[in-house]
Chains A and B, each alone.
Chain A
Amino acid sequence: MTPLLPMTPLLEVRDLAITFAPAARVVDGVDFRIMPGEVLGLVGESGSGKSVTLRALLRLLHGARVEGHVLWKGRDVLAMPDAELRAMRGRGMAAVFQEPTAALNPVLPIGLQIDESLAAHTDLSGAARRRRAIELLGEVGIADAARRLGAYPHELSGGQRQRAMIAIALAAGPELLLADEPTTALDVTIQDQILALLLRLVADRHMGLLLVTHDLGVVAETCDRMVVLYAGRVAEAGSVADLLRQPRHAYTDALLRSMPGEGEARTRLSPIPGMAPKLGRPLDACAFVPRCSYASPECSAHRPPMVAVEPRRLSACIAWNRLPARVAA
């Protein structure tokens, strides 16, 4: 492999559209890119299309039409032959899912579930794979790893299961880890440990990380840049620090207001009024209009274009320059 040019993204998603039969467009024109070693947050509420997007990147969706381009180092995943796709899955991009209880096979020991990844992607002998599996379990912080190889998922705690799933995902040495709400199913104390673990692994291995979450707090702690999804479209994208300080999309603004902040005791939270829109045909308007306090007639007239409002800052909001800055903490 030739070394990558510094500006070549690991993954570039262009105009991704996902439609479930008969006419439910759940992702509509999503673009983003991830550089080597970068941590990107994909943020949105339930139904915003963030998890579906993650699964589309690995071609894991059942019964969905996926259009657009998912470029892994310039190769389109959506058009890859099966053999190339298999080699890319796990070793190029690997995934960690939300529910380790569901994602781990309940009837196979953890050791085997690591081993089969190693067997699929490396030439290691059985004994070498066993040693590697023990190292991996140790690396994700599972104590007494050698004995844990024979454990079944139900014999581990929730946090250990999530660690085991991360170890499985890391087995083939992926360059990009896709993590779908990796902490949502866990206790708060365990959540922090898992996030710290992911960040340490990203730094140690110079791995990219795509973190799909609904939790802005998690994004603020872990990500370099973020992409905010609303109703299957990118609302805005930019660096986490900029975005939290000065939202450039009315949805992000509303999302930040609905969150409890630091040092703001007794201030009222303002939930976003209304409900996320139903799935259906793509709207020729901003999808956030019914719930937006900045909406103008122009917002309903056509779909707002994605505009570079600042260097490295994109927004699809007509009111982007009328939004207030957040009070600095």
Chain B
Amino acid sequence: MNRAGAIVGRIAQIIPTFFLIGVVVFVLARLLPGDAVSAMLGDRATDEAVRRITHQLGLDRSMVAQFLTFIGQAAQGHFGQSLAFRVPVASLISERLPVTLLLTLMATLIAMCMALPLAFVAAMNANRWPDILIRAVFQVGLSSPVFYVGLVLLTVFAAGLRLFPVGGYGEGLPAHLYHLFLPALTLALSFSAVIMRTLRGSILAVLRAEFVDFARAKGLSARVILLRHVLRSAAITTVTLVGLHIGSLLGGAVITESVFAVPGVGRLMVDSIFSRDYPVIQALTLVLAVLVSLTFLATDLLHGWLDPRAGV
């Protein structure tokens, strides 16, 4: 019943989650075959050089000591130096993260703009031609691999029609939006297919609900019934789905960022894994985990607002 208390409780749940993620990240990074020093020095390095660098990087200390340093610094927002780039990890991430955030945000907005109206049209015409056409087109979007969709969009709109740049990020917000449009569209195509199908199904289910018949029996207009009674109820399941999907977009934009040469965290992550850049891998995973958790928290709060039966 106490809404504020429930929200605080929900936020408190996140903190142990972060700690566990920290443990997993630390262990996983060290389970990778190979190590940072040989990645840096190559296989012709002398034993002497390897020993010196290993000591310099603190990698000769015990695992527990390394872990405590990592957690202690992470809690204060320090992630140490990148082993490969020789710059603070924090500055590396703060440079790349906004790119991925903007890409995710654009992809989500584009996906919603495509999915919401079309889900409505499809549901209102269930099993007639507009519905069948919409579902068929989205089915193609859903079943095409992201890298392929990306390449097709690149070939047609960037290389062929020269409407968009083939890659990069540009300078200033308008240029960012322009450069990120095609990659965002690539991500949005499959995302919107998921939203469209779920929302269409929810709308159809709600249209058959008894409370919608009761609303019609009251003499309400079709607009009020649709917007107030149908859409709100149908949105409940869709909101959860969108939240989950945004979470996976944040960490999963690797392929799209590679295809379009977008300097986001997805590519940074891949590069860091290849160079065994432990501090970057750890920090990046942790930051993404925090972002995903916050997205889920926002989803839960929105869900609780839409559906008063859910205790937050």
Contacts and interface: CB of A to CB of B under 8 A. Distances in A.
Contacts of A108: 228-229, 232
Interface string A154-194: 10000000000100110110000000000000000000000
- A89, A121, A152 — which one has the most chain B CB atoms within 10 A of its CB? A89
Contact of A97 (B214, B221, B224, B307): B214
A88 B216 CA distance: 11
B224 A103 contact: no
Contacts of B217: 58, 60, 89-90, 94-95, 169
B218 A168 contact: yes
Interface residues of A, number: 32
A120 B232 contact: no
Contacts of B229: 105, 108
B155 to A, nearest CB: 46
Contacts of B216: 58, 60, 89
Contact of A86 (B208, B221, B232): B221
B219 A90 contact: yes
Given A107-B308, A154-B309, A91 B210 contact: no
Contacts of B224: 116, 120
A74 interface: no
Interface string B84-100: 00000000000000000
B240 interface: no
A103 B218 contact: no
B127 to A, nearest CB: 11
A106 interface: yes
A121 B219 contact: yes
Contact of A106 (B211, B220, B228): B211
B233 interface: yes
A62 interface: yes
B140 interface: no
Contacts of A165: 214
Interface in A34-72: 55, 58, 60, 62
Contacts of B306: 107
A117 B218 contact: yes
Contacts of A88: 219
Interface residues of B, number: 23
Interface string B299-312: 00000001111000
Nearest to A86: B219
A102 interface: yes
B273 interface: no
A95 B214 contact: yes
A136 interface: no
A120 B214 contact: no
B236 to A, nearest CB: 7
B65 to A, nearest CB: 53
A117 B219 contact: yes
Contacts of B213: 55, 60, 97, 103
B215 interface: yes
Contacts of B41: none
B210 A102 contact: yes
A139 interface: no
A102 B209 contact: yes
B198 to A, nearest CB: 18
Interface in B31-67: none
Nearest to B229: A105
B232 A107 contact: yes
Contacts of A89: 216-219
Nearest to A165: B214
B214 A103 contact: yes
B158 to A, nearest CB: 45
A76 interface: no
Given A62-B208, A97-B210, A99-B210, A107 B236 contact: yes
A204 to B, nearest CB: 21
Nearest to B215: A105
Contacts of A102: 209-211
A308 interface: no
A94 B210 contact: no
A10 to B, nearest CB: 17
Contacts of A105: 211, 214-215, 229, 233
A87 interface: yes
Contacts of B211: 102-106
B309 A94 contact: no
Contacts of A169: 217-218
Contacts of B308: 106-107, 152, 154
A89 B224 CA distance: 15
B228 A116 contact: yes
A283 B229 CA distance: 41
Nearest to A61: B213
Interface string A281-300: 00000000000000000000
Nearest to A59: B216
A158 B71 CA distance: 53
B303 to A, nearest CB: 11
- B209, B210, B219, B228 — which one has the most chain A CB atoms within 10 A of its CB? B219
- A95, A103, A121 — which one has the most chain B CB atoms within 10 A of its CB? A103
Contacts of A107: 232-233, 236, 306-309
A253 to B, nearest CB: 35
Nearest 10 interchain pairs by C-beta: A90-B219, A89-B219, A102-B210, A103-B214, A95-B217, A105-B211, A90-B218, A152-B308, A117-B218, A86-B219
Given A107-B233, A108-B232, 11 more contacts: A55-B213, A86-B219, A89-B216, A90-B218, A94-B218, A103-B210, A104-B211, A116-B220, A116-B228, A165-B214, A168-B214
Interface of A: 55, 58, 60, 62, 86-91, 94-95, 97, 99, 102-108, 116-117, 120-121, 152, 154, 165, 168-169, 171-172
